[in-house]
A = this chain, B = another copy of it.
Amino acid sequence: MIELRNQTSEEIVKELSSTVKKLSDIHTDDRSLMSLCPEGLPSLQNVKEIMSLLWKLMFPELFFERTAIVSRIEYRIGITTERLFELLQEEIVIGLSCRPKRKEKVVIDNYPEAHDLSMKIISFLPELKRLLYTDINAILRKDPAAGNEVEIILCYPSVKAMLHHRFAHLIFSMNIPYLPRIISELAHSHTGIDIHPGATIGEYFAIDHGTGVVIGETCIIGNNVTLYQGVTLGAKSFRYDGNGTPLNIPRHPIIEDNVTIYSNATILGRITIGHDTVIGGNVWVTESLPAYSRVIQGGIRNDIFSYGAGI
């Protein structure tokens, strides 16, 4: 059905090869990516594999194959953990030797450090699992439509967002570059929920629907907080130092325990939302609120700030 005869291969090759040459010219560039990271570049493929291993370790009953005989799950978890360790170490070595901001190229042996950090991350996994189950239980308690843990893990983007975030946050707190933000962005791409790995989030956290949620780097969120789709926890503006460099100071909200924020609400700046507060949909907040506040859009009846819940 397809005929390609009317071309002389020689000519095609000749035409293509000039472009090939130009695209290959990466070593001569003064600031090629290789020159940034001469020891090697982060691997998106590896990070994807890391996250896929993590799902298996967190919920082995769901993500290992459904086998005819119930096997010794320890064998599978063992191999998966070893592979995770290996990949973490590989990516951390490369990350450490290629710190984004470091001007000078330091030739040190990163292996001992990478080994220790990887080991610490692995040791954290049982605690990570415990934290994720608090998030799952929060949904179970708050959403009448949620059947049980199995359904929540499989059907709620919030679980994916938090699995990625809690893992990325740990790695972020270890000052390892690249890895945390790649992990966050993978969750963002799949869920539309964009949480900066620097954000500090308490237990029993839940996001419903989630598309469009943005949570900034210096946010501090307490326990038992619930957000709906489109909520922004953002910064108002930057302060700059004398050189015009933005200062990395706390600039995102503090959300205390038991707060609920309905869809498309916008909370901006280093303000504090007091515990047990409820903020209605589409509300715009730029000042701190005391505990037990109820904030709704002007002119809207009191009973509707919970819209969106339970759908």
Contacts and interface: CB of A to CB of B under 8 A. Distances in A.
Count this chain's copies in the assembly. 6
A185 B157 contact: yes
A7 interface: yes
A203 interface: no
Contact of A214 (B79, B100, B209): B209
Given A68-B1, A77-B20, A232-B308, A144 B13 contact: no
Contacts of A3: 1-3, 5, 111
A70 B37 CA distance: 13
Nearest to A160: B189
Given A26-B61, A40-B66, A69-B82, A74 B21 contact: yes
A5 B107 CA distance: 13
Interface string A284-311: 1010000000000100110110111111
A144 B248 CA distance: 8
Contacts of A17: 72, 78
Interface of A: 1-7, 9-10, 12-13, 15-24, 26-27, 31-34, 36-37, 39-44, 57, 59-63, 66-79, 81-82, 85-86, 89-90, 93, 98-101, 109, 111-112, 115, 119, 122-123, 125-126, 129, 144-151, 153-157, 177-178, 181-182, 184-185, 188-192, 194, 196, 209, 211-212, 214-217, 229-230, 232-238, 245-246, 248, 251-252, 263-264, 266, 268-269, 281-282, 284, 286, 297, 300-301, 303-304, 306-311
